């Protein structure tokens, strides 16, 4: 593989990014729900070239027992990168970075979940990064939240996440790998979209107060867009699952929305 070369610029004289995007433009996103047969819930995300699969198991008995929480389920997240997911082979042993990102993802998802409904149990989320091209913690949150909904874990809302960064003095949403590596910093964030409560906010690099405010506004706008894509992916999966609705375009009584509402209700998704 040819060594990575630092690009001459991250923003062109026309104000476009290295992959031709505008500063506030997300990469193309593809979300799929129910991608793993064995898991209770699962989802995948392609965000540009970043590709991640999340599988949820549980609520189920917790081992080791000393981790048991008497008043709620333990949310256990394992974020891992496949050895082939990055240009240099990723060593298979869990790295400090993977452990930290696992914790950050759990903390970003927890505020939306009614874990108190399943005391003394565990909800496991296994996340594998198949291909990393920047923004993996946020893409992982987008997929994991969908996998939790697919598993029927009661939740207040799906959680969308995105990283906003800075390169050549310009704020950019949804950084790609080169923008992440050679840019001036990034702010990954996740929100509960209905209330705009922030469940993840990290900062790498330096931002002025004004830049940070603007970055967060750009992040909220992008998260709301992502939230629509998440809901749409979930709807598609329920339409597919409904036995008397074999064809997505074939509504028996024309009440497409009614079918969706019933099915979303079954998943105990408590969106408004
Ligand atoms: O992926 P995310 O932006 O959430 O986390 P990061 O630690 O800021 O990593 C940024 C990017 O660096 C990842 O998305 C990968 O593309 C790349 N990376 C890598 O090439 N090799 C690693 N061992 C870890 C990350």
200 Cα to the center of ligand 1, angstroms: 17
Taking all residues of the chain, what is their mean pLDDT, rounded to a whole number?
90
End-to-end C-alpha distance for the chain, whole angstroms: 48
Residue 3 is predicted with a pLDDT of 54
DSSP labels for 60-127? EE-SSGGG--SSS-EEEEEEEE-TTSSSSPPPSSPPHHHHHHHHHHHHHHGGGB-GGGSTTEEEEEEE
Q: Is the pLDDT of residue 45 over 90?
A: yes
Please tell me the predicted confidence (pLDDT) of residue 255: 41
Q: 133 CB under 6 A from ligand 1?
A: yes
Q: Which residues are paired to 186 by β-bridges? A: 165, 204
pLDDT one-digit tens code per residue, 94-135: 999 999 999 999 999 999 999 999 999 999 999 999 999 999
Model confidence at 80, in pLDDT bands (50, 70, 90)?
very high
Residue 93: predicted pLDDT: 95
Q: How far is the CA of 136 from the centre of ligand 1 (A)?
A: 7
Give nearest CA residue, ligand 1 atom 13.
134
Question: Phi, psi at residue 195, to the nearest 5°?
Answer: -110, -10
Q: How confident is the model at residue 155 (pLDDT cuts 50, 70, 90)?
A: very high
- Please, what's the b/e burial string for 222-241 (b: 16 or more CB within 10 A of its CB; e: otherwise)? bbebbbebbbebbbbbbbee
Mutate to test the pocket of ligand 1, among 95, 136, 184, 205 (most ligand atoms within 8 A of CB): 136
252: pLDDT strictly greater than 50: no
Q: Which residue has the higher pLDDT, 1 or 118?
A: 118
How far is residue 165 CA from its own chain's centroid? 17
**Cβ of residue 86 lying under 6 Å from some atom of ligand 1:** yes
Tell me how far apart the alpha carbons of residues 42 and 125 are, in angstroms, rounded to a whole number. 9
Summarize the confidence of residues 129-150 as an average pLDDT: 98
Average pLDDT for residues 173-180, to the nearest whole number?
95
What local confidence, expressed as pLDDT, does residue 125 receive? 98
In contact, 123 and 76? CB cutoff 8 Å = yes
pTM for this entry? 0.89
Q: What is the pLDDT of residue 258?
A: 42
Q: Are strands 204-205 and 29-33 parallel, antiparallel or unpaired?
A: unpaired
The rounded Å distance from CA 38 to ligand 1 centre is: 28
Dist CA 211 CA 203 (whole Å): 12
| The CATH homologous superfamily of the domain defined by 29-243+252-260 | GHMP Kinase, N-terminal domain (3.30.230.70)
Q: What average pLDDT does this structure show over 206-232?
A: 97
pLDDT value at 195 more than 50? yes
Higher pLDDT, 63 or 269: 63
Domains in the chain: boundaries? 29-243+252-260
Q: Tell whether ligand 1 has an atom less than 6 A from the beta carbon of residue 134.
A: yes
What's the pLDDT score for residue 271?
A: 47
Residue % of the chain over a pLDDT of 90 = 83
Separation CA 140–CA 50 (nearest Å): 10
Tell which residue, 138, 205, 202, has the closest CA to residue 175: 138
CA of residue 195 relative to chain centroid, distance: 18
Predicted confidence (pLDDT) at residue 247 exceeds the cutoff of 60: no
Contacts of 10 by beta carbon, 8 Å cutoff, 6+ apart: 17, 18, 167, 168, 178, 179, 182, 183
Statement: residue 244 has pLDDT above 80:
no
The better pLDDT of the pair 253, 59 is held by 59
């Amino acid at each position: 593989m040819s060594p990575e070369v630092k690009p001459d610029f991250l923003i062109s004289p026309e104000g476009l990014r290295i992959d031709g995007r505008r500063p506030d433009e997300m990469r193309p996103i593809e979300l799929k729900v129910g991608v793993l047969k064995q898991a209770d819930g699962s989802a995948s995300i392609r965000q540009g070239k970043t590709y991640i699969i999340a599988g949820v198991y549980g609520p189920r008995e917790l081992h080791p027992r000393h981790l048991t929480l008497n008043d709620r389920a333990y949310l256990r997240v394992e974020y891992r990168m496949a050895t082939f997911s990055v240009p240099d082979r990723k060593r298979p042993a869990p790295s400090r970075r993977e452990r930290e990102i696992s914790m950050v993802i759990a903390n970003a998802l927890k505020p939306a979940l009614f874990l108190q409904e399943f005391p003394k149990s565990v909800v496991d989320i296994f996340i594998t990064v198949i291909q990393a091209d920047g923004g993996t913690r946020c893409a992982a949150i987008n997929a994991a939240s969908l996998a939790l909904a697919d598993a029927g874990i009661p939740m207040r809302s799906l959680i969308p996440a995105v990283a906003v960064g800075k390169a050549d003095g310009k704020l950019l949403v949804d950084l790609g790998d080169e923008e992440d590596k050679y840019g001036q910093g990034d702010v990954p964030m996740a929100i509960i979209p209905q209330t705009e409560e922030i469940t993840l906010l990290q900062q790498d690099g330096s931002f002025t107060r004004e830049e940070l405010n603007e970055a967060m506004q750009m992040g909220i706008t992008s998260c709301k867009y992502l939230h629509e894509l998440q809901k749409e992916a979930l709807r598609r999966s329920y339409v597919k699952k409904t036995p008397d609705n074999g064809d997505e375009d074939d509504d028996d009584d024309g009440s497409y929305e009614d079918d969706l509402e019933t099915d979303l209700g079954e998943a105990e998704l408590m969106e408004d």
